[in-house]
Amino acid sequence: MATHNSSLDRGLKSRSRSSDIGWDIGRYALLIFFLLVFLVPVLWIWASALKSSIEISRNPFALPQEFMWENIERAWTVGGFDRYLLNTVIYCAAIVTGVVALSCFAGYALALLPLPGRGVVLGLFLLGLMVPFQSVMIPIYYLLRDVGLLETYWAFIIPGIALRLPFGIFLMRGFFKGLPNDIADAARLDGANEWNVFRSVMLPLAIPGLSTLVVFQFINTWNQFLMPLIFVQRDELRPVALGVMFFFGRFTADRGLIAAGVTISMIPMVILYLLLQRRFIEGITAGAMKT
Average pLDDT of 279-284?
Answer: 60
Of all residues in the chain, the percent with pLDDT exceeding 90 is: 19
Output the DSSP codes for 27-42. Answer: HHHHHHHHHHHHHHHH
Task: Indicate the DSSP class of residue 64.
Answer: P
Taken in order 195, 205, 119, 134, the sign of the CA dihedral is positive
Q: Considering the chain, what is the average pLDDT of its residues?
A: 82
| Span 10-45, pLDDT tens digits | 554 555 566 667 777 888 888 888 888 888 888 888
Q: Which residue has the higher pLDDT, 228 or 55?
A: 228
Question: pLDDT class for 102, splitting at 50, 70, 90?
Answer: very high
Average pLDDT of 268-277?
Answer: 77
Q: Is residue 265 within 8 Å of 81, Cβ to Cβ?
A: yes
Does the pLDDT of residue 284 top 60, yes or no? no
Class of domain 74-290: mainly alpha
Q: Which residue has the higher pLDDT, 1 or 136?
A: 136
Q: Give the range among 37-41, 52-56, 226-230 with minimum mean pLDDT.
A: 52-56
Q: Which residue has the higher pLDDT, 285 or 100?
A: 100
User: What integer pLDDT is reported at residue 10 of this predicted model?
Assistant: 58
| Span 133-158, pLDDT tens digits | 888 999 999 999 999 999 899 999 99
User: What integer pLDDT is reported at residue 6 of this predicted model?
Assistant: 58
User: What integer pLDDT is reported at residue 183 of this predicted model?
Assistant: 84
Q: Which residue has the higher pLDDT, 274 or 151?
A: 151
Average pLDDT of 92-119?
Answer: 90
Does the pLDDT of residue 159 top 90, yes or no? yes
User: What integer pLDDT is reported at residue 157 of this predicted model?
Assistant: 95
Does the pLDDT of residue 288 top 60, yes or no? no
Average pLDDT of 54-77?
Answer: 80
Does the pLDDT of residue 179 top 80, yes or no? yes
Average pLDDT of 41-53?
Answer: 82
Helical ranges in the chain per DSSP H: 2-48, 53-58, 70-77, 81-112, 118-126, 137-146, 154-178, 181-189, 194-196, 203-205, 207-222, 226-231, 240-250, 255-290
What does the alpha-carbon distance between residue 83 and residue 249 come to, in Å, rounded to a whole number?
17
Domain ranges in the chain? 2-48, 74-290
Provide CB contacts within 8 A for 245, sequence distance 6+: 225
Question: pLDDT class for 281, splitting at 50, 70, 90?
Answer: low
What does the alpha-carbon distance between residue 111 and residue 119 come to, in Å, rounded to a whole number?
10
User: What integer pLDDT is reported at residue 285 of this predicted model?
Assistant: 58
| Span 240-266, pLDDT tens digits | 888 888 877 776 667 778 888 888 888
Q: Which residue has the higher pLDDT, 220 or 64?
A: 220
What does the alpha-carbon distance between residue 12 and residue 19 come to, in Å, rounded to a whole number?
10
